[in-house]
């Protein structure tokens, strides 16, 4: 599979170029268009329990859509729900990546997706306690809200990043989850919640906008979902 992106960095679209008979995994509902003859099958990846964990805890859809090219090959265009950039990670079979809530968009069929625990406090902090762990070989497409920044840490180098701005990070990076402020009262005063402490070596992908901030703004202006 080859990936071509367009309309980045503001409204990214990824075109997944498929060889004859090649399948690709896509987040449910992310397909924008496809060449004629491409077939689709929605399935609970890894069985019912793993798919339930992925949906309830990882912030992704219960089903993963598998698109398969016809004998002459084909393509599938995919786009995220929120405006922003896209990034294509080429997995080499040695280093996996942890992808945070809602940022996985598509990946080659040779990439395996599993749920990974993201910390006890994270679950109760409203940010989703699990992340998608991607391993294997092939392209992995992730999306972000806003622009994408890449933080490269050297061995022994540290950085602290708000959880709502983390898109993905390599397995080589060590991480620790904690509260930014000491105590609930201080967190309310500062407006800061949970953060990741990262230690190098490795890369971290971040987004310049926080989806949680968008929800808060919509609710404050009376534009949130109504029952």
- Domains by residue range for the chain, with CATH: 2-219 (3.60.160.10)
pLDDT band at residue 24 using 50, 70 and 90 as cut-offs: very high
The pLDDT-based confidence of 193 (bands split at 50, 70, 90) is: confident
Q: How far apart are the first and last CA of the chain?
A: 42
Dihedral (C-alpha) 175, 27, 105, 99: value to the nearest 10 degrees?
0
Residues 101-116: what's their mean pLDDT?
91
pLDDT surpassing 60 at residue 164: yes
Tokens of 13: 């679209």
Average of pLDDT values for 2-21?
97
Confidence of residue 122 (pLDDT cuts 50, 70, 90): very low
Q: Can you tell me the mean pLDDT for 172-198?
A: 71
pLDDT of residue 48: 46
Residue 181 banded pLDDT, cuts 50, 70, 90: low
Phi then psi dihedrals of residue 163, to 5 deg: -60, -35
CA 220, 182, 208, 126 dihedral sign is negative
Q: In the predicted model, what is the mean pLDDT of residues 48-63?
A: 49
The percent of residues above 70 in pLDDT, for the chain, comes to: 78
What is the phi-psi region of residue 119: left when phi exceeds 0, alpha when psi lies from -120 to 50, beta otherwise? left
Residues in Cβ contact with 212 at an 8 Å cutoff, skipping those fewer than 6 apart:
126, 127, 164
- The answer to whether 78 and 35 have CB atoms below 8 angstroms apart is no
């Amino acid at each position: 599979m080859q990936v071509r992106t367009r309309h980045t960095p503001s409204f990214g679209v990824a075109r997944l170029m498929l060889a004859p008979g090649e399948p690709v995994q896509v987040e449910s509902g992310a397909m924008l268009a496809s060449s004629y003859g491409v077939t689709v099958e929605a399935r609970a990846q890894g069985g019912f329990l793993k798919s339930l964990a992925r949906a309830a805890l990882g912030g992704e859809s219960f089903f993963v859509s598998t698109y398969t090219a016809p004998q002459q090959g084909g393509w599938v265009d995919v786009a995220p729900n929120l405006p922003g950039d896209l990034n294509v990670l080429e997995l080499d079979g040695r280093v996996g990546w942890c992808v945070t809530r809602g940022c996985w968009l598509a990946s080659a069929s040779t990439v395996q997706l599993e749920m990974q625990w993201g910390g006890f406090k994270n679950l109760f902090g409203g940010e989703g306690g699990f992340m998608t762990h991607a391993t294997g070989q092939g392209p992995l497409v992730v999306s972000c809200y806003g622009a994408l920044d890449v933080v490269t840490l050297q061995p022994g180098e540290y950085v602290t990043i708000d959880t709502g701005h983390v898109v993905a990070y390599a397995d080589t990076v060590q991480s620790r989850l904690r509260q930014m402020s000491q105590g609930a009262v201080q967190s309310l005063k500062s407006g800061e919640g949970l953060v990741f402490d990262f230690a190098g070596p490795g890369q971290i992908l971040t987004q310049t906008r926080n989806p949680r901030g968008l929800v808060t703004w919509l609710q404050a202006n009376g534009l949130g979902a109504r029952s």
